[in-house]
Amino acid sequence: MTSISEDSDKEKVRSVSVDLNNDASLVIDIPDALCERDKVKFTIHIKTTLSSFQKSEFSVPRQHEDFIWLHDTIVETEEYAGLIIPPAPPKPDFEGPREKMHKLGEGESSMTKEEYAKMKQELEAEYLAVFKKTVQVHEVFLQRLSSHPMFRKDRNFQIFLEYDQDLTVRRKNAKEMFGGFFKNMVKSADEVLISGVKEVDEFFEQEKIFLLDYSSKIKDATAKAEKMTRSHKNVADDYNHISGAMNSIAADNNTAFKKHLEKCAEVFEKLRKLEDRVASDQELKLTELLRYYTRDIQAAKDLLYRRARALADYENSNKTLDKARLKGKDIAQAEENQKQCLRKFDKLSESGKKELTSFKARRVVAFRKNLIEMTELEIKHAKNSMSLLQGSIEILNSN
Amino acid sequence: MSGGCGRNPPPFPDNEDQEAELDTRVLDSDEDDDDEGEDIFTGARSKPITPTSAPDEGDIFSEEGSYIRSDVHHATNGLHSDEELDLFTEATVELTLTNTTSQGRREIIGPTASACNTTHVPNSILKPSIVTKTMEELEEEESGDQFELNIAVTNPEKIGDGMNAYMSYKVSTQTTLPMFLNKTFSVRRRFSDFLGLYEKISAKHSLLGCIIPPPPQKSVVGMTKVKVGKEDSSSAEFVEKRRAALERYLQRVVAHPSLLQDPDVREFLERDELPRAVNTQALSGPGLLKMINRASDAVNKMTIKMNESDNWFESKLQEVENEEQLLRRLHAAVDSLVNHRKELCLNTAVLRKSVAMLGSVEENSALSRALSQLAEVEDKMEQLHQQQAFSDFFILAELLADYVRLLGAVRCCFEQRMKVWQRLQEAQSTLQKKREAEAKLLWANKPEKLQQAKDDINEWESKVSQYERDFERVTCTVRKEVLRFEKEKARDFKQHIVKYLESLLHTQHRLVKCWEAFLPEAKAIA
């Protein structure tokens, strides 16, 4: 069981998106998370001035599955068809640290005390990194909802925030209702879009082209960034082994040779920590950014799908109306249907346009923020490395 | 333990013509490019030229001094067979100076440690700073009476085609040592020549208990690729690796005071054409290893354990064996680092392309530009990682690999001593048998065989005392060698560690520059 509080990390606002907590009427953050075997329990902290809530400040524990339930209900809500639904946070993945913990447990007897302590430290660092990531992504999800004029009023969102008991019961019912429907929609949506429904609006035509292209590129970039940060971590690991091996040699010796090696081992140990930070900062700022926007782009694409669907429906309704007129039967019904379809389509188009425009702005700002932060961190780490190395070289030379 | 005064030589003036005309010994040369050569010579001459007396047997240098004196008489012909007359006139001069050479060499060992705070970087890295090092060199030489010997192995060239092809390397020497004909000269050698040199040195010196630097390892795979003509980065890397290894090997050989005096070494450095070394199969990597391991097996099987007067040898050997194991482990870790860094380099390159693509699709122009700039940064980082991997390998990994093999050579040295001791033991027991035989004859009263027995005894008595002396000498030599080795090792490691850290520092510095250049681009996103 591991519990992480976020006070160790000075950068409180870690969201990949814009600072979503600037509206004081509803402020949400996740200060704490508990990992119990397979389940992660997030502590959601809410501060609000809205009258719709019973209390003005309170906390509530939620599981990852609760977030998924919330996301799904919102997706299924017809009303929100014209909005970009914030992507669901991915399941927390503790596989890496868990494997390491196993190895640690198994190898405990064969390791020296120092080695064990070191590995344990590494393990804890890795856990912390995974935690940071998953908390960040869950937090952003809620913040997106809370900062959106329509989502924040959602009944289920309120339930999620306020319901002081386990949501599991409510969740079950919801799942039965919505499960299949959603999946079907996604499958056929692709075809609808790709089959090239005749687009009437230039804006949406452009958006479609852009989003499709961007989507594949950003997915690719995410995968490559992941690979790169993994290599970085491997290098940091190697520094660790080198440091250990050097210390072994130095232990056996008692000459000037030993002093040199000891110093060098120390340097490698410190470099490892720095290299690790470089890797995890890169991951947090760049890879996570790309990951998040891959999902967000998908959500934007979903909006286009829904709109294209509505367009298809509208065109079908026209055909039905024509048929009805020909046959002379059910005309009123067909007319009503057609009007509805048109209304729906227009509504989707209107809100869709707004959403997509704000999405662009949001994306640019997020990229800017993260790229700046990443660059500043990289510079900081490199400068730290430099001073470490300079100091060590001086010491070695003066010996 | 590499490089006599292991600096990289300054770019040589074109020596091609110098090789041909070996008649001008640069004693009082007018065309001398470095003045200190002359100073040293005059300085040397003014010194009282007394042959270094050899009262104590343990003094390696005096031993070698005498060795060379005799050698000069006989072997000059072997050195440069085409130049007879001039050599003889010079031979006399060389004779008197030889002793100062010995003296001079001793001096080198002392100050060398402090003087050589320089880098042992493969030529390809250090080229730009060579000039400044030369100035340093000059300053230091003015301060002390030092003899310089710098060796570089450069210009690998493929000679021939197909499976009979081989790589030829240029071995350039720059020296102020009087025993060489010129101050700067170069020859072309191939890999088997180096192995041949090792064989000759080993045959002569290992019996004395010297630590012989092992040559670089053969590699069938690597060479085949080169022979076949595969012009890719891996075969280029192989050639570079070998070139650097050959250079380090020679530098270690000449750093050893006795080996430097060996005429075979001189011949290797100076002579235009060497006879092809044959039977170098035994000296390939696995072959050499087998030899070393066989020796240790033989020692382990010895039934009569050595009666050590002091624990020094036993504990030292144990130390060496332990250290070899630990160095292997360290080497493996560094190897892993090299591989991962190369991987990082590749992944960075791949990411760069991906980010560039993303940037080209991005509709916001400022962000698009920033993304392309980010791709540029990744590109620079790829190069940095590449260079760092190169440093990881050539500064650290190769050092460790060399020392693993050197420790093996140290072990060999100990084993040689054991062999000498064993020979002594056997002679002593033979002597004992002869004495018993004599006693039997006396008792059996066979006077005609008695004389033979007495002769035998005399023979073996002198053998025993000879072998005793040998053992004493070897013991002394081994002790000296090990101490020298350890000093060199400490120095070598320190040098390389500092150089490595400097390479890391350099990389981090460049990283800072890269990112600082990018920051305004990121901030410019709107």
- Residue-level pLDDT at B131: 40
The closest alpha carbon to B58, from B468, B416, B473, belongs to: B473
- Residue-level pLDDT at B307: 63
Q: Average of pLDDT values for B96-102?
A: 35
Answer yes or no: do B354 and A217 touch at CB < 8 A: yes
Q: Is B321 on the interface with A (CB under 8 A)?
A: no
Chain A, 204 to 223: residues with Cβ < 8 Å from chain B are 210, 213-214, 217-218, 220-221
CB atoms within 10 A of CB B69: 14
Q: Is A234 on the interface with B (CB under 8 A)?
A: yes
What is the side-by-side strand order in the sheet with A39-48? A2-5, A26-36, A39-48, A57-63
Contacts of A375 (CB under 8 A, 6+ apart): B515, B518, B519, B522
Answer yes or no: do A393 and B489 touch at CB < 8 A: no
Structure tokens at B495: 């040098």
Q: Average of pLDDT values for A116-127?
A: 81
Q: Average of pLDDT values for A96-101?
A: 80
Interface test with A, best of B512, B513, B514, B523 (most A CBs within 10 A): B512
Residue B95 has pLDDT above 80, yes or no: no
CB atoms within 10 A of CB B277: 18
| Distance of alpha carbon A44 from alpha carbon B371, whole angstroms | 35
- Residue-level pLDDT at B436: 87
| Main-chain dihedrals φ then ψ at residue B347, nearest 5 degrees | -65, -35
Answer yes or no: do A231 and B329 touch at CB < 8 A: no
Answer yes or no: do A390 and B362 touch at CB < 8 A: no
Coil vs helix vs strand at A197:
coil
- Residue-level pLDDT at A188: 55
| Most confident stretch, A125-139, B211-225, B326-340 | B326-340
**A220-234, A254-268, B121-135: segment of lowest average pLDDT:** B121-135
Chain B, 147 to 176: residues with Cβ < 8 Å from chain A are none
The closest alpha carbon to B399, from B345, B444, B335, B353, belongs to: B335
A61: which strand partners? A43
Residue A375 has pLDDT above 70, yes or no: yes
Contacts of A308 (CB under 8 A, 6+ apart): A189, A192, A193, A197
The per-residue DSSP string of B364-388 comes to SHHHHHHHHHHHHHHHHHHHHHHHH
Coil vs helix vs strand at B150:
strand
Pair A381, A278: CB distance under 8 Å: yes
| Distance of alpha carbon B117 from alpha carbon B250, whole angstroms | 19
CA quadruple A385, A390, A392, A393: dihedral sign = positive
- Residue-level pLDDT at A139: 92
Chain B, 338 to 377: residues with Cβ < 8 Å from chain A are 340-341, 343-344, 347-348, 350-351, 353-355, 357-358, 361-364, 366-367, 370, 374
Residue B118 has pLDDT above 60, yes or no: no
| Distance of alpha carbon B428 from alpha carbon B419, whole angstroms | 14
The per-residue DSSP string of B72-108 comes to HHHHHHHH-TT--HHHHHHHHHHHHHHHHHHHHHHHH
Which residues of chain B neighbour A360 with C-beta distances below 8 Å? 363-364
The closest alpha carbon to B11, from B186, B163, B159, belongs to: B186
- Residue-level pLDDT at B336: 94
| Distance of alpha carbon B457 from alpha carbon B430, whole angstroms | 9
Q: Is B493 on the interface with A (CB under 8 A)?
A: yes
Residue B23 has pLDDT above 50, yes or no: no
Structure tokens at B96: 């008197």
CB atoms within 10 A of CB B372: 17
Q: Average of pLDDT values for B104-119?
A: 35
- Residues across chain B: 526
Coil vs helix vs strand at A338:
helix
Residue B57 has pLDDT above 60, yes or no: no
Which helix (H) or strand (E) segment holds residue A48: the answer is strand A39-48
Coil vs helix vs strand at A399:
coil
Q: Tell me the per-residue pLDDT of B471-508, one tens digit each, with 9 for 90 and over.
A: 999 899 889 989 999 999 999 999 999 999 999 999 99
Which residues of chain A neighbour B498 with C-beta distances below 8 Å? 393, 396-397
**B5-9, B276-280, B326-330: segment of lowest average pLDDT:** B5-9
- Considering only CB atoms, B364 lies closest to which of A239, A249, A364, namely A364
Contacts of B327 (CB under 8 A, 6+ apart): A249, B400, B403, B404, B407
The closest alpha carbon to B464, from B522, B405, B424, B509, belongs to: B424
The bridge status of strand A2-5 relative to strand B184-190 is unpaired
Interface test with B, best of A248, A266, A365, A375 (most B CBs within 10 A): A375
B112 falls in which pLDDT band (50, 70, 90)?
very low
The closest alpha carbon to A224, from B374, B513, B393, belongs to: B374
Which residues of chain A neighbour B357 with C-beta distances below 8 Å? 217, 220-221
Chain B, 107 to 136: residues with Cβ < 8 Å from chain A are 117
| Distance of alpha carbon A363 from alpha carbon B133, whole angstroms | 54
- Residue-level pLDDT at A392: 93
Pair B403, B489: CB distance under 8 Å: yes
| Main-chain dihedrals φ then ψ at residue A165, nearest 5 degrees | -120, 180
Residue A215 has pLDDT above 60, yes or no: yes
Structure tokens at B525: 């996103």
Q: Tell me the per-residue pLDDT of A273-291, one tens digit each, with 9 for 90 and over.
A: 999 899 989 988 999 999 9
Coil vs helix vs strand at A329:
coil
Q: Determine the straight-line distance between the first and last CA of chain A, rounded to whole angstroms.
A: 47
Q: Average of pLDDT values for A325-353?
A: 89
Which residues of chain B neighbour A253 with C-beta distances below 8 Å? 323
Q: Is B327 on the interface with A (CB under 8 A)?
A: yes
* Greatest Cα-to-Cα distance within chain B, rounded to the nearest angstrom: 118
Q: What is the mean pLDDT of chain B?
A: 73
- Residue-level pLDDT at B144: 38
SS (H, E, C) A91-139: CCCCHHHHHHHHHHHHHHHHCCHHHHHHHHHHHHHHHHHHHHHHHHHHH
- Residue-level pLDDT at A24: 75
B284 falls in which pLDDT band (50, 70, 90)?
low
Query: How near does any CA of chain A get to the CA of B382, in Å?
Result: 11
Answer yes or no: do A238 and B336 touch at CB < 8 A: yes
The per-residue DSSP string of A290-308 comes to HHHHHHHHHHHHHHHHHHH
Q: Tell me the per-residue pLDDT of A169-212, one tens digit each, with 9 for 90 and over.
A: 666 555 555 554 555 555 555 555 555 566 778 888 888 889 98
- Residue-level pLDDT at B205: 86
**A228-232, A249-253, B130-134: segment of lowest average pLDDT:** B130-134
- Residue-level pLDDT at A174: 53
Contacts of A179 (CB under 8 A, 6+ apart): none
| Main-chain dihedrals φ then ψ at residue B159, nearest 5 degrees | -110, 130
Query: How near does any CA of chain A get to the CA of B522, in Å?
Result: 6
Which residues of chain A neighbour B525 with C-beta distances below 8 Å? 364, 367-368, 371
Which residues of chain B neighbour A267 with C-beta distances below 8 Å? 501
- Residue-level pLDDT at B61: 35
Q: Is B305 on the interface with A (CB under 8 A)?
A: no
Dihedral angle over CA of B385, B390, B392, B397, nearest 10: 150
Interface test with A, best of B365, B501, B507 (most A CBs within 10 A): B501
Q: Is B502 on the interface with A (CB under 8 A)?
A: yes
Answer yes or no: do B343 and A379 touch at CB < 8 A: no
